[in-house]
Amino acid sequence: QVQLVQSGAEVKKPGASVKVSCKASGYMFISYYMHWVRQAPGQGLEWMGIINPSGGSTTYAQKFQGRVTMTRDTSTSTVYMELSSLRSEDTAVYFCARGTLVPSMEGSFDSWGQGTLVTVSS
């Protein structure tokens, strides 16, 4: 079965960077897009961006342009999301979520990681 396992919780100081990993198993890694979605405490879901694990191409939400980098390692079926210049407002749970079969973009996010809490505090 499809499984997405994320790295553990992080505590960072303002201005630092954080890198969250998401290891996929149970399907052909390079065939499906992977998304990153975050959720601040008590708030809704916010889409951050998408990576095509096959070629590594990315699209980022405008809000995170310049601060987020999504990469992948096909040898370990792992995607990474790095967010830089952290501020307190970045305190949130960060989820990876499997998207659709490449190249279709219109489908749902059918499997989700367990979430990684990133706390930004001085």
Partner 1 sequence: SYVLTQPPSVSMAPGKTARITCGGNILGSKSVHWYQQKPGQAPVVVIDYDSDRPSGIPERFSGSKSGNTATLTISRVEAGDEADYYCQVWDSSSDHHVFGGGTKLTVL
Contact letters for partner 1, residues 16-35 (x by CB under 8 A): -------------------x
Q: Does 8 bind partner 1 (CB under 8 A)?
A: no
Q: Is 1 in the site for partner 1 (CB under 8 A)?
A: no
Verify binding: residue 50, partner 1, rule CB under 8 A: yes
Burial per residue of 100-115, b for 16 or more beta-carbon CB atoms within 10 angstroms, e otherwise = beeeeeeeebebbbeb
Structural Rg of the chain based on CA atoms? 14
Q: Which of 17, 33, 36, 45 is nearest to 101 (CA)?
A: 33
If binding is defined by CB under 8 A, does position 117 make contact with partner 1? no
Amino acid at 116: T
Tell whether residue 73 is a contact of partner 1 (CB under 8 A): no
- Contact flag: residue 61 with partner 1 (CB under 8 A): yes
- State the nearest-atom distance from the C-beta of 120 to partner 1, in Å: 20
How far apart (Å, rounded) are the C-alpha atoms in residues 27 and 86? 33
Query: CB-based contacts of 21: which residues, under 8 Å, 6+ apart?
Result: 6, 7, 78, 79, 80
Q: Is 65 near partner 1 (CB under 8 A)?
A: no
Report the residue from 62, 75, 89, 122 that binds partner 1 according to the rule CB under 8 A.
62
- The footprint of partner 1 (CB under 8 A) covers 35, 37, 44-47, 50, 59, 61-62, 95, 97, 105-110, 112-115
